Chains A and B, each alone.
Chain A
Amino acid sequence: MTENLTTLLNFLPQLWEGVRVTIILTVVGSLGAVIIALALGLAMTSTHAWLRVPARIIVEFFRGTSLLVQLFWLFYVFPLLGVELDPMICGIGALALNYGAYSAEVVRSSITTVDKGQWEAAIALSLSPSRRMIRVIFPQAWALMIPSLATLLIQLLKGTAVVSFITLQDLTDKITQLRQSTNDTYFAFTVGLIIYFVIAWLIQEFMNFLERRATAALGRRRPNSRTDRREARRLARADAVRKDRSTSRAAADDGGGDGLGTGPESGPASGQGGRL
């Protein structure tokens, strides 16, 4: 085990290099995916068939074909057509197209989920179609789409592992190298799992932050949010205090007797309230 740790320590700079490649693929790939998703998703909500139909075809095509084959296409077929692409560009492109197509469907369905009355109110105020979308519909759709986008973003992170097939030395590639140098399969892949998990957790935290902001902008809170729980605790405490006071008053009203009748009841009740 100590040998493994020494190897890992020596291997850290290389491992970091792999993490860096994976993070670049994830961040740039997801930015590309979001841009593609917005363009295709909005086009799919259009009333014009010449926008809607091609967008739908593109989405179905990239959703329906394997990420790995798309990647190979960019990497192996494009050169045959006379276009040499950097492996990094191929990786980012394939991830952006594939996950962009999935996210486009999320964008489309979130926009159509926004209450019809919101569109109508915007029309009644004579807002132009672009202002309707930017100021009224999209901010509300955004709050709806974040949870699904978070899931897709984490899938994209895990999807980056396929780039090791096209010579890119990403985290997965480095982990296989670590396995060879330590000769310990169990150790190397466990390290791999942990690193992927940590990155995914950071992404989830970031998306949670975005969701909190988006729902707060709508004057709402996420179900069972921290603020909700805090408020519940505060109310419970206030309740307990009130109960304590009323019981002690009741005890005092009893004429300063032993007060045993109320004491045992109020004790546990207030304790529970405080702990909630």
Chain B
Amino acid sequence: MPLTEKTPATPATAGTPAIEFKDVEKSFGPTTVLKDLNFTVAPGERVTLIGPSGSGKTTILRLVMTLEDLTDGYIFVDGEPLTFEERDGKRVEMPKKRTREMTTRIGMVFQQFNLFPNMTVLENIIEAPVHVLGKSKAEASTEAKELLERVGLSEKADAHPTRLSGGQQQRVAIARALAMSPEILLLDEVTSALDPELVGDVLGVLRDIAETTDITMLLVTHEMQFARDVSHRVMMFDGGQVLEEGPPDQIFNNPSHERTKSFLSSVL
């Protein structure tokens, strides 16, 4: 599959990064997945993580969403510590409530959609805006309907998630994440569980969001054409380390590492 050249302009990298990983280490029992990981993502930047399975890409997203505990190091969002901070030279865990306030700025869309089956589509979308952000039900519903229209599902507001196709469920999940007006959107292999004919709709919605908003995006995907079209930067991971990174053109057309070359030839 030839990749067309359409790299978006990189946003200015000056100022406080939207996401910063500082000396991050993550182990699952005896297995170390990430080690001494340092990188930043600028506000509005869209970064794609690629690499063989088990290279720790998804773990990075899950750490930002606080779904995994950090083994060592720090993560900062807008310059503020997310789960741990350094106080008097010691690494101290942040209060859970503070962490939860921070995560309202972050949205995540999962491979398996994870819509709540005990709620209708609309209820799924307004749950957090009403109960976390304290919006009125009427206001949240109006916004939710606008979002549903945007993802092309305005007629499904009162449907049960179980009655929707995978592609529709994933578009609802995207609307649900956007309803929190996140500054950062994490996309974890959002098309991997979909039938091929449904992938296009979901990617179309994401392209639209990328083009019309300045949400910072961190995505893990196997859709290389999509990654190339929407991302400002691609980071190639291997063995819990950033093997190389750069604009999509450079990584896809001119990778400097043998590992990157062989990985790309195996997925393209």
- Is the C-beta of B19 less than 8 angstroms from some C-beta in chain A? no
A232: Cβ under 8 A from any B Cβ: no
B67 touches A124 (CB 8 A): yes
Interface flags, A106-135, vs B, CB<8A=1, else 0:
000000000101101111111110010001
**Cβ of B177 under 8 Å from chain A:** yes
A123–B103 touching, CB < 8 Å: yes
From known contacts A218-B162, A219-B161, infer whether A125 and B114 are also in contact, taking CB-CB under 8 Å: no
Which residues of B in the span 15-68 have a Cβ within 8 Å of any Cβ on A? Answer: 65-67
| Distance of A136 from chain B, by nearest CB (Å) | 5
Chain B residues with CB under 8 Å of A120's CB are 65, 67, 110, 114
Contact B107 A121 (CB under 8 A): no
Asked whether B160 is an interface residue with its Cβ less than 8 Å from the other chain, the reply is yes
* Contact among B67, B112, B128, B176 with A126 in the assembled complex (CB-CB below 8 Å): B128
Point out the residue from A121, A128, A219 that lies within 8 Å of B162, measured CB to CB. A219
A123 touches B65 (CB 8 A): yes
Of the candidates B104, B110, B118, B132, the one whose C-beta lies within 8 Å of that of A136 is B118
| B90 interface residue (CB < 8 Å to A) | no
Q: Closest residue to B67 on the A side, CB-wise?
A: A120
| Shortest distance between the CB of A204 and any CB in chain B (Å) | 24
B161 neighbours in A (Cβ, 8 Å): 219
Confirm or deny: A140 has a beta carbon within 8 angstroms of a beta carbon on chain B.
Answer: yes
Decide if B77 is an interface residue (CB 8 Å cutoff).
no
Contact of A131 with B116 at beta-carbon distance under 8 Å, contacts A124-B103, A124-B108, A126-B100 already known? no
Report the minimum CB–CB distance from B216 to chain A (whole Å). Answer: 16
Contact A124 B65 (CB under 8 A): yes
**Would you give the shortest CB distance from B113 to chain A, in whole angstroms?**
8
Asked if B127 contacts A118 (CB within 8 A), the reply is no
B115 at the interface (CB under 8 A from A): yes
Q: Give the distance in Å from the alpha carbon of A126 to the alpha carbon of B128 in the complex.
A: 7
Task: Mark B157-177 against chain A: 1 for CB-CB distance below 8 A, else 0.
Answer: 000111100000000010011
- Which range contains the number of A residues in contact with the other chain? 20 to 34
Judge if A87 is at the interface, Cβ distance under 8 Å: no
Q: Are A220 and B162 in contact (CB under 8 A)?
A: yes
Tell yes or no: A83 within 8 A of B by CB: no
* Distance A127 CA – B140 CA, assembled complex (angstroms): 16
Judge if A159 is at the interface, Cβ distance under 8 Å.
no
Q: Which residues of B contact A217 (CB under 8 A)?
A: 118
CB contacts (< 8 Å) of B112 on chain A: these are: 117
Interface residue? B218 (CB, 8 A):
no
Query: Does the CB pair A136–B107 fall under 8 Å?
Result: no
Residues in B69-122 with C-beta less than 8 Å from chain A: 100-101, 103-104, 106-108, 110, 112, 114-119
Inter-chain contact total with CB atoms closer than 8 Å: 68
Residues of B within 8 A of A139 (CB): 118
Q: Is B180 positioned at the interface, with any CB of A under 8 Å from its CB? A: yes
Alpha-carbon distance between A245 and B119 when the two chains are bound, in angstroms? 42
Contacts of A128 in B (CB 8 A): 100, 132
A121 CB to nearest B CB, Å: 4
**Inside 8 A of B163's CB, which chain A residues have their CB?**
219
B80 to chain A, nearest CB (A): 15
Please determine whether B114 and A127 come into contact, CB atoms closer than 8 angstroms: no
Q: Are B116 and A126 in contact (CB under 8 A)?
A: no
Task: Report Cα–Cα, A137/B108, bound state, in Å.
Answer: 19
Task: Say whether A218 contacts B177, CB under 8 Å.
Answer: no
What's the nearest-Cβ distance from chain A to residue B209, in Å? 17
Shortest A192–chain B CB gap in Å is 42
- A125 and B162 contact, Cβ closer than 8 Å, known pairs A118-B116, A139-B118: no
> Taking the nearest CB of chain B, how far is it from the CB of A217, in angstroms?
5
Residues of chain B lying within 8 A (CB to CB) of residue A135: 116, 119, 127, 131
| Chain A residues within an 8 Å CB radius of B127 | 125, 127, 135
Q: Hey, which chain B residues are within 8 Å of A122, CB to CB?
A: 116
- Given the known interface contacts A124-B177, A125-B176, A126-B180, the answer about A118 and B114 at a Cβ–Cβ threshold of 8 Å is yes
| Separation of A123 and B100 alpha carbons in the complex (Å) | 8
Output the least CB separation between B59 and chain A (Å): 13
* Residues of chain B with a CB closer than 8 A to A117's CB: 110, 112, 114
- CB-CB under 8 A from B176, the residues of chain A are 125
B63: shortest Cβ distance to chain A, in Å?
12
The answer for the CA separation of A25 and B163 in the assembled complex, in Å, is 42
Evaluate contact between A125 and B110: CB separation under 8 angstroms.
no
The 4 A-B pairs at the shortest CB distance, nearest first, are namely: A219-B160, A121-B114, A125-B128, A219-B162
Q: What would be 6 A-B contacts, judged by CB atoms less than 8 Å apart? A: A122-B116, A124-B106, A126-B101, A128-B100, A135-B119, A136-B118
B interface residues with partner A (beta carbon < 8 Å):
65-67, 100-101, 103-104, 106-108, 110, 112, 114-119, 127-128, 131-132, 160-163, 173, 176-177, 180
A sample of 7 more A-B contacts (CB under 8 A), given A125-B176, A135-B127, A219-B160, is A120-B67, A125-B180, A126-B180, A127-B132, A128-B132, A135-B119, A218-B160
